[in-house]
Amino acid sequence: MVTVSSFVLITAALWYCVVSATETQNCSSVAAIAAQTCQQLESSLGSTIVQTQTSGSEYAIGANFAWSTFSDEVNFQPSCIVFPNTTQHVQTAMKAIFENKADYAVQAGGHSGMIGWNTVQNGVLISFMNMNSTSYDSESDTITLLPGIHWGDATSALQQYGVAPVGGRIATVGTGLLLGGGISYLSPAEGYAADNYVSLDVVLVNGTLVTATADNEYADLFKALKGGGNRFGIVTKYVVKAVHTGTEDEKRWFGGLLVYPNSSSEALLAALAHFIHDTTDPNAVLATTFRTTWENSSQDIELDLVLVYNGTEASFNTSFAEFLSIPYTSSALQALSYLDLLNAVTFPDGLGTLFGASALTGVPASTLADQYLETYRLYNNFSTAFASSTDIAFTLLDFSPVPKSQIQAGYEKGTNPIVPPLGTGGYFEILFQVTYAEGITEPSPDVEQGRQLWISTAPSTPGLPFFLNEADANQQILATYGGYEFLKQVYTKYDPTRFNVQHTQGPLGL
């Protein structure tokens, strides 16, 4: 258990300086190294690409681009921000960072609940704001994504061709989702988002550029980047399999949002546990958002489910019969395009957000879902305990499905380092999210202690991997993977001096 006493709660910026510096460095020497590196980069790349707080018009945009405000300019002021336009710019930046032993961070879409994973204090931030395009090659039936694009923009640009990448379920999420594996509305049929890689251009820690595929000399790196996070290099181009989802005018999906009252929670949790255990149809897809807000100590709990079927209304009714039998307060069910589906759920920007993760296997319909009920009870306990806090805007508890068909698809596409076990069937990745109110610039100690209590006590099924993209920064997510030993070997091969774990934030355990 990580207790609140383990955290330095003075400022996020000071915390980053302490944990990222080597044993012989202090904050002043880290800052001096960063300043030297920035000066070198500005000389070689120019002041348009390399900007400081005082010299660049885009600096403030880049420093405040992170989705969670706990990682914005209030807490982190990068010594400079590199806004690359090409892979060669990234190579130049990474070579200087490596040679000078500077701290650094990389920011693509910025949608991270981990403080400091996509920004840096007294270091170099590489922002992909300007590398944000996508294209479709009909001959190879592949999609090329540059790292700065968001899934909504990519899907909108590609819908004219009737194709989409296996990407995020929320339009504002970026390509960093791929490095954590990535769960999509297309995942039940296509596997994790990262299972659909075709090739990756990767800048290694020393600035060397390699192109990794499933069958070339960098096949181990290719596989490690299917969920290993940011520890293995900087991906500057993703080529992925295209999925034929139809144009915006083609309404191939049926379903939408159902809103349930809290009185339906027990039946709803049981239905989730049954669905993930029993469903074998990869066309049946769901997403959940259990959200709690409060005003004047009165809790408002709303249980939202997006239920969709890639097919007919009749198939939808059959696949989700148990959910449709549970009392709900409203529904918005209709024929949908894939782009409609991607825009079905939105989240507010400009607030400080933190995550926590667990994972639960499904149970047959004849069995009560006790662990699901306990997970929800602990979530409600947290929300009730802080009902009078003015620090919190809302809390969330989400169940992200990883059905057996998704696991099987991953195995058929060369496997990934997550390697969920096939024998246990499907399971849910659990997200516990605490989002702070506007103007709160750092987590409060009492709320943080309660959040860590949920993380340490929430039920989880042994042997199931946690979801890296929706976890606390201090959880040992990689150690839950079936391919953990493989990841450690690959990391040692491509970063033998352990530069990355010493100079940037990311998953623990390598």
What domains does the chain contain, in order, with CATH numbers?
4-129 (3.30.43.10), 134-247+485-494 (3.30.465.10), 253-479 (3.40.462.20)
What letter would DSSP give residue 55?
A: T
pLDDT at 296: 64
Residue 350 scores a pLDDT above 90: no
Query: Within 13 A of 209's CA, how many CA atoms are on the CB side?
Result: 11
Q: For all residues of the chain together, what is the average pLDDT?
A: 92
Residue 332 scores a pLDDT above 50: yes
pLDDT at 1: 34
Of the ranges 52-61, 73-82, 143-152, which one carries the lowest mean pLDDT score? 52-61
- Residue 5: other Cβ atoms inside 10 A: 9
Q: Are strands 124-127 and 80-82 parallel, antiparallel or unpaired?
A: parallel
Q: Which of 258, 406, 246, 255 is nearest to 338 (CA)?
A: 246
* Average pLDDT for 446-458: 96
Q: Are strands 80-82 and 50-51 parallel, antiparallel or unpaired?
A: antiparallel
Residue 177 scores a pLDDT above 90: yes
% of the chain beyond a pLDDT of 70:
94
Q: Are strands 298-309 and 284-295 parallel, antiparallel or unpaired?
A: antiparallel
**Where does residue 374 rank: exposed (0-12), middle (13-18), buried (19+ CB within 10 A)?**
middle
pLDDT at 6: 30
pLDDT per position as a tens digit, 467-499: 999 999 999 999 999 999 999 999 999 999 999
pLDDT at 127: 98
Length of the chain equals 510
pLDDT per position as a tens digit, 194-219: 999 999 999 999 999 999 999 999 99
pLDDT at 17: 54
Residue 16 scores a pLDDT above 50: no
323 pLDDT band, cuts 50/70/90, is very high
Rounded Cα distance between 176 and 297, Å, is 37
Residue 3 scores a pLDDT above 60: no
Q: How far is the CA of 120 from the CAs of 13, 79, 104, 340, in angstroms?
A: 8, 8, 6, 36
* Average pLDDT for 283-310: 90
Q: Phi and psi for 462 in degrees, rounded to 5?
A: -55, 140
* Average pLDDT for 229-255: 96
pLDDT at 25: 52
* Average pLDDT for 235-260: 96
pLDDT at 57: 87
* Average pLDDT for 155-159: 96
Concatenated DSSP letters of 78-137: -SEEE--SSHHHHHHHHHHHHHHT--EEEESS----STTSS--SSSEEEE-TT---EEEE
Strand-pair partners of 290: 303, 397
Q: Which of 4, 83, 98 is nearest to 45 (CA)?
A: 83
What letter would DSSP give residue 70?
A: G
% of the chain beyond a pLDDT of 90:
86
Concatenated DSSP letters of 269-336: HHHHHHHHHH---TTEEEEEEEEEEEETTEEEEEEEEEEEESS-HHHHHHHTHHHHTS--SEEEEEEE
Is the Cβ–Cβ distance between 306 and 298 less than 8 Å?
no
pTM value is 0.93
